[in-house]
Amino acid sequence: MLEHSWRQEPRGLTEMLEAEDLLFNQVWYNRHWNLRIGVTEGQVKVVDKETYPRPPGAQETVQRDVWRGALKAARRVEQRYGKKNLGPWDDFEWGMINGKLSALRWVLGDDWDMLDT
């Protein structure tokens, strides 16, 4: 039996869910910006309809309606959390954000390393 002289109460479910929501949106927003940069720099092409499987060496694509939805979602995330809370982060900070999201999701019942957004 592990004994200690102090007691710490666990955080409540509401607080954990709020933190998970913020971390989810921070990770999503960062991934969105990576896609946005790819579109801007021509590495990702916006298409009316994606085709699968892509031929070997084909350019990465995003479907136009999905792209429009992502732009709207990014504006909503910016309004909700403020741009100052959405990065950018250095590698250490990025690792901490992903680690926190993984740990919270594990406590809430997901598998370790569940970082889907």
Say what the pLDDT of residue 115 is: 85
Q: Give, as one character, the DSSP assignment of residue 49.
A: S
pTM of the shown model: 0.84
Dist. CA 26–CA 78, nearest whole Å: 10
Say what the pLDDT of residue 78 is: 98
Reading the chain (117 residues) residue by residue, the pLDDT tens digits are 667 777 788 899 999 999 999 999 999 999 999 999 999 999 999 999 877 777 777 688 999 999 999 999 999 999 999 999 999 899 999 999 999 999 999 999 998 888 888
